[in-house]
Amino acid sequence: MQITLKDIARMADVAESTVSRALNNKPGVGEDTKLKIIKIAKKHNYRPNQLARGLAANKTNMIAVILSEMDSPGNIEIVKSLEKAAEKNGYQIILCNTNNQTEKEKSYLTLLESNQVDGAIFIGGKLVEGHLLRASFSPDNNIVLVNRLAEENFFTSVLTDYSQGVYKAVGHLLDQGFENIALVGGEDYNLIEEEKSAGYKAALIDHGYQINEDLIFSIKADRKSGYNVFLEIIEGDIIPDAFISTSELTTIGLVEAIKMGGYFIPDDFAVVGYGDNILTSVIDPPLTVLSEPVDALADYSFDFLLKLINKKMKDQQIKVLTPELIIRESSISKYN
Amino acid sequence: MASVTLEHIYKRFGDLVAVKDQSLEIKDKEFIVLVGPSGCGKSTTLRMIAGLEEISEGTLKIGDQVVNDVAPKDRDIAMVFQNYALYPHMNVYDNMAFGLKLRKFPKDEIERRVQEAADILGIEQLLERKPKQLSGGQRQRVALGRAIVREPQVFLMDEPLSNLDAKLRVQMRTELSKLHDELQTTMIYVTHDQTEAMTMGDRIVVLKDGVIQQVDDPLSLYNKPNNMFVAGFIGSPAMNFMDAKIEKEGDTYYIDGDGTFRIRVPEDKEDHIKDYVGKNVVFGVRPEDIVDTNINHDFEVKEDNSFEADVDVVEPMGSEIYLYLAEEAHSLIARVEAESTAKTGDTISLGVDLRKIHIFDAETEECVF
């Protein structure tokens, strides 16, 4: 059975309040007594009951992490990182997946509204709708949005500047001497993909190049489309010398097709992929990628939420983070 | 464009009734302002119209459609709040367009709407700029632009100017009125600031404790308040109120302040007051309807419309002077011409413009005239 505060008090022959003060590192306990109490607690593997703690402080020490899509690799990385940050601060997370469904989101929101959690972090998803807007009016509802936009009210948010990421990638490729850079992006009508494309165009213009619409490709974000687009490109009039691919799966297909065609990376085509994972560094050659700033997204969003919970957030905030460009062999020119 | 109709609307939060039996017809293309002190239910009413709060009882219509159970996004409204966000990494164009993009509007349609909104708001030349390169007023315009591009049937605005400094607020007031003229769309605007309400609204709804006190155009509200609350809330400095009794001597009726002042009831108002003889009333007079008798005025000052008072404080405002006066047991404010030479400590003679006085029932606080 789990040892309680009361048991420790009995064993140390002190009052329960003394044990509590000692374990919470509060003043009013002699050093010897404190050491004795900590020793007993360690020996019996004492862990405070978070629920009881929560009841006393009117807190649950739980936060809801509400994902719009479970199968997006970036989102999972953010969750992992969030969990670490939460644990460090004595919080546990409840993971919810809405599959981009409004009704599911509404039902998870009740966790927050009925005080079953101290706050909620929403990751990704559609434009903020009425139910979330309404929840935001109550100062007791601590909400942080990650990579999600709202038209009306001000939500404390942490966002990725996708356009800046691609901007950096273009700059890097130009520095390496590649001048015909193709953008293999997602389908039209996707704001994030549009931002990436805007970053691509802005970088070319800022570096004094013209935009060639024939080098911009909008395809489905899967491996097969990545493969096929390369076959299409090498049949075209303008053959690029570098690719920026904006999704993980497309990058895999693209690299596959380049290799199958007997071409070399980066000798024939430089490649900058999207999303950093185990494979990107061991693939031959190791891939240069734009990596979502997952740790920073998690750290900032958790930090903001904690401040909101503890009423220490003076003004609501928006933090914009830029994807990191991790440079490996696939984009380093050997000849230019 | 559409009308908005509230029929016997209630909002209850547990035992608390935040909005009581509100009925209101907001006409198509009207600029209506909901005004009242905090807790009067103005924001709750707005949020019910927006669909952000459920309606406990009653019917809400936008146009001819009952929308009680229609989701906010399907109500064809756009909202602007005091607290809005411009995304720092997006330029002005994208800050206005991202909502349409996420709603998957065609590109050329987005382009047309953003250009049009920018044109109306006078921010065409700022479309490429980032929010940090904008002034406070320009940012506010972008937030408005985000609502305008949705081309809604009704705009709902909840204190959208509260975060701006005083000077900018005044400027934006005018701009919003102009914007309304140009867009010709129904606007429902919530504010706690009666000056904002008076300067912007075609009609004003004054609320207190969840109950509509009066719905009127600005001048009628000022000149003919329904009750003491409206009389005191609208106008700055506020109307002076003094306890009094109605007395009759011969054929003349008087407002008697327990011997401290005695003001004649104008003949055309006598009919209203006949039943109040011997009863307690509240005498109300606006600061600008009290004159320093040493200065020119456009009405006759006699014994039965004047009184003497001690000057407590003189507040020169430039074009006029506020005199804080003590008259026996009463303290009141007079807004007199700048030529007044009254000084603190003086005892001066003041005249009351009988055409502008008000009497309220002391019990119900309703206006008698």
CA atoms within 13 Å, Cβ hemisphere of A60: 16
Confidence band for B350, pLDDT divided at 50, 70 and 90: very high
* Closest approach of A307 to chain B, Cα-based (Å): 19
Instruction: Please name the residue of chain A whose CA is at the shortest distance from the CA of residue B78.
Output: A152
Contact at CB, A151 and B89, closer than 8 angstroms: no
Q: What's the Rg (C-alpha) of chain A?
A: 25
pLDDT, position A278: 76
Chain A residue numbers touching B87 (CB-CB < 8 A): 149, 159, 318, 320
pLDDT of residue A88: 92
pLDDT of residue A74: 75
Amino acid symbol at B35: V
Residues of chain A contacting residue B98, judged by C-beta atoms under 8 Å apart: 149, 151, 191
pLDDT at A55: 57
Strand B320-327 versus strand B240-249 pairing type: unpaired
pLDDT at A51: 56
Chain-wide mean pLDDT for chain B? 92
Percent of chain B topping pLDDT 90: 75
Looking at chain B, the whole-number percentage of residues with pLDDT higher than 70 is 100
Total-model pTM: 0.83
Which CATH number, 3.40.50.1370, 3.80.30.20, 3.30.300.30, 3.40.50.2300, labels domain A162-292+325-331?
3.40.50.2300
Q: CA-CA distances (angstroms) from residue A45 to A9, A10, A23, A311, B208?
A: 15, 16, 13, 33, 59
Mutate to test the interface with A, among B47, B74, B101, B132 (most CBs of A within 10 A): B101
Which residue is closest to B85 within chain A, CA to CA? Answer: A154
The two tokens of residue B334 are 């007079």
- pLDDT, residue B299, reads 87
Residue A189 confidence (pLDDT): 66
Average pLDDT estimate for B134-158: 93
Backbone phi, then psi, for B324, in 5-degree steps? -95, 115
> Would the CB atoms of B89 and A155 count as touching at under 8 Å?
no
Q: How far is B217 from chain A (nearest CA, A)?
A: 29
* Residue in B with minimal Cα distance to A190: B102
Most confident of B256-265, B311-320, B324-333: B311-320
Name the residue in chain A with its Cα closest to that of B103: A127
- Domains of chain B (ranges; CATH) run 4-233 (3.40.50.300), 240-361 (2.40.50.140)
Picking from A300, A308, A315, A297, the residue whose alpha carbon sits closest to that of residue A142 is A308
Which residues of chain A are within 8 Å of residue B79 when distances are taken between CB atoms? 152
Determine the pLDDT at residue A50.
58
Distance between B293 CA and the closest CA of chain A, angstroms: 53
**Lowest-pLDDT range of A96-110, B235-249, B325-339:** B325-339
Tens-digit pLDDT profile for residues B248-268: 998 899 999 887 888 999 989
**Residue A26 pLDDT:** 79
Q: Which residues of chain A fall below pLDDT 50? A: none
pLDDT of residue B18: 94
Half-sphere exposure for A76 (CA within 13 Å, toward CB) = 7
Closest CA in chain A for residue B79? A152
B320-327 and B306-316: which strand pairing? antiparallel
Which residues of A are less than 8 Å from B47 in CB distance? 134, 137
Top-level class of domain A5-48? mainly alpha
Q: How far is B363 from chain A (nearest CA, A)?
A: 38
B10 Cα distance to chain centroid: 22
> Exposed/middle/buried for B306, CB within 10 Å: 0-12, 13-18, 19+?
middle
Q: How far apart are CA B73 and CA B38, in angstroms?
A: 27
Q: Quick check: ipTM above 0.90?
A: no
CA nearest B101 in A: which residue? Answer: A191
Task: Say which residue, A17 or B9, is predicted with more confidence.
Answer: B9
CA distance B292 to chain A (A): 49
Of B63-67, B223-227, B257-261, the one with minimum mean pLDDT is B257-261
Return the residue in B90, B128, B146, B155 with the most chain A beta carbons within 10 A, the one to mutate for interface testing. Answer: B90
How far is B60 from chain A, CA to nearest CA, in Å? 17
Cβ atoms of A124 and A112 within 8 Å: the answer is no
* Minimum-distance CB partner of A129 among B73, B81, B147: B73
CB contact (8 A) between residue A191 and residue B72: no
pLDDT at A17: 84
* Cβ–Cβ below 8 Å for B80 and A153: no
pLDDT in tens, A226-270: 999 999 999 988 999 999 999 888 999 999 999 999 999 999 999
Region label for B305, one of left (φ > 0), alpha (ψ between -120 and 50) or beta (otherwise): alpha
**Residue ranges covered by each domain of chain A:** 5-48, 60-161+294-323, 162-292+325-331
- State the virtual CA torsion across B194, B200, B206, B212 in degrees, nearest 10: -160
Which CATH architecture does the domain made up of A60-161+294-323 adopt? 3-Layer(aba) Sandwich (3.40)
Size of interface A-B (CB pairs under 8 A): 63
Same fold, A60-161+294-323 and A162-292+325-331: yes
